[in-house]
Structure 1
């Protein structure tokens, strides 16, 4: 696909390279098309924080803001139209990738309003509305894996809508996500949908796990050899759960009906600790049928000096469990870690959404 040997090695190993960023400037400048051509890029994810940052640059959105202001659009309506346009145009840039990969890649994700993270009915309603508004076959609706989000995932899939499940931190919650996915496909089949046209990824967050656990280890004066081990071990245990789930009899029945596996997606793969290699969450998480959605800096770092040596995940479950046994023995409350990370993840996106609403509101007022 590209002239970059590191990114080609990732693709050859079964890792889909996605970008964790989107803006109208990136689309209009041709940068997104360039990344597809030269950096093996086959997908993009967005979130409220990304949109809040993108729309702080009013120039890229000025023409549409002026149109929205002229017709008296409210801020919620304006945000919906601004974000869905970006997703629609990005989806069109990836049209050929989507076709070439049989619908598996060339995907663009748009998240439901994060204020609905604990509202099942509201999430389902918004997910279906977003899918209709974007109206592109290569769109994913992003739904958080909160307890209230799990049934919403099932119900959205049951309507034939492809879903990116986000904010997964624990292997136990990941198992619940895979169960919700299969239930959704079973219901979609019952509803007469072609399950072969439904795709999904499960976004398992990585670096935030190290950040939270390292902070706790330092506070308790734990040995340094425990630092920086949790996130990769956690993701590798998640992949083991994926292999176990997608070889079982329940999945085999769906597969015979033409269903596609829900791929694990490694999210939050930008390195936050300067002492760690800036490509560690790429190099150490290479496995077939996965996605790695990277910040731009991580994408370029991987292209420049990533150490891609093939599969680094399969066969590591026992060693990864030993890491968690050691963390528990050191006094780390893992259940509390996951609860804190989920709560902070939702709160962060809610705050970004409020910032986005405030930015667009100010731009509408200025245009008027």
Structure 2
């Protein structure tokens, strides 16, 4: 078991997901195990016309019109989640030493909505119609920059872009800033808002999305025999990480600890996972080694579980090889869909909640488990279980693999 020297305390959580705005709404929806996928009016006439969107999100109301107008939606989602996480941590940005506070956010696509809107303006009216805010609104790095501006975090500031592993990579990178002593506090997570017609057309042409257009609520079904692709989603998840001694000195509530991180590349294919699962297995074992954790000590795995035919089997086989003790496995993507660069951060936050509350959410729509997936997958209803150690997996296009190990406080 980790000796605690390099642990990062999780003292704050923030969530904006298709389940709702804020941690309570999101977590309750995920525990309920009902899919949030629904027909999307913005995709009317598309071959795949359903997504998982954040319900009732009004940026003007939540952030104020003066702030909201100059930000892309992916930054809107991130700022709301970051503010919740900071408030939850009990830290006061007016009092902290901002030079010791970093921001590391994961994102895959940047401000694609803004780019597409401004490209249309260019084609329609010419260059003079393009907004002067285009570049700062679309840049992938800007989500970390705007969070820093919002809360006065003047430490290291960066965005990790490892496709669907981006949020997990961000949290792992944030922990490195803690363990090297560069920061006392790091605001870390992921955000994505890429539910636009060109992006969804691209995923559709790849064959990555579920085609259950008549039954969108049944489309995302991780580990199920009849899965046929993922459901695209948006969202944001943010964790406040602190040095353990910093958190203890201010008597903060430590919700869980990030004790290990591992990453690898398949070096196999642009979009398909290596069917051997060797890269996935390497990342898991690296995270366990970093944590000083034996596989038998892991009680729960929050799986990447995208509901795609290849990914789910590949991940399952790797998990079986690493964890012969059959820890309880779940994928929340049956409820939330796949929010790409935000997914790993949202799932890490859910892993913290599972550890803290002793509750594993169910995998939605798992009616008949694929016989090639020999895992103890939680389905139908939440499972009450004491969790001392858990792993959270994320994998992405380009063969990107990232894994976190989290432990009880």
Query: Structure 2 length as normaliser, TM-score?
Result: 0.32
TM-score with structure 1 setting the length? 0.34
More helix by share: 1
Per residue, is there more strand in 1 or in 2?
Answer: 2
